Amino acid sequence: MAKEEHAIILDFLPNGYPFDKRPLHKRMPIAQAFGKENLVLLELAPKKDCFLQPYEEVYIGEGKRDKIHHILGKIHPSKLTETAKTELSFVITDLVLKNEQRFMQFFNTAGPINMRRHQLELLPGVGKKHMLEILREREERIFTNFADLKERVKLMPDPEKTIVKRIILELEGNEKYNLFVKG
């Protein structure tokens, strides 16, 4: 699996987790973040005296990092702070809108999983009818953006919201197939 290069801060706890029973001077600051490429939830250890803001993008790749000392690992959505849980859908929505072509590529190239199931049907609110209509429309010409998809596929659920919902479902780890979250 490719490593994340950049992450978006969801929450920053300068004094570590509130449930940490160690004395304040022994606690380590923690940042909860969302990886931009693999779309995973991460727990990061910021550098000493570094203060992070929600929505701030930080470099977490190889080599010299400005603000992050090391990556503690991936975390499950249930371990997110209330602030991070609130920010998560905003951060994912923003990422989906800023990378519209990446997600349009999915609508333009998604294929069958097996004889009975298609990748498009794994999206919340997309059933056989929508799937068949998307396939029919993309055969005529590929979709250029979310607005084009909404216009050509009648009664299609909002594509951005559909993708955001799917990413959150995949983060929870109960899905058999991952379309967007890697690792």
Model confidence pLDDT, tens digit, residues 24-63: 778 889 999 999 999 999 999 999 889 999 999 999 999 8
Closest listed residue to residue 11, CA positions, set 50, 44, 48? 44
Sign of the Cα torsion 70, 76, 80, 86 reads: positive
- Give whole-number Cα distances, 4 to 59, 151, 162, in Å: 9, 35, 24
pTM reported for the whole predicted model? 0.91
Is residue 38 within 8 A of residue 74, CB to CB? The reply is no
Is residue 78 within 8 A of residue 123, CB to CB? The reply is no
Domain architecture of the chain: domains with CATH: 6-79 (2.40.50.140), 99-172 (1.10.150.280)
Confidence of residue 157 (pLDDT cuts 50, 70, 90): confident
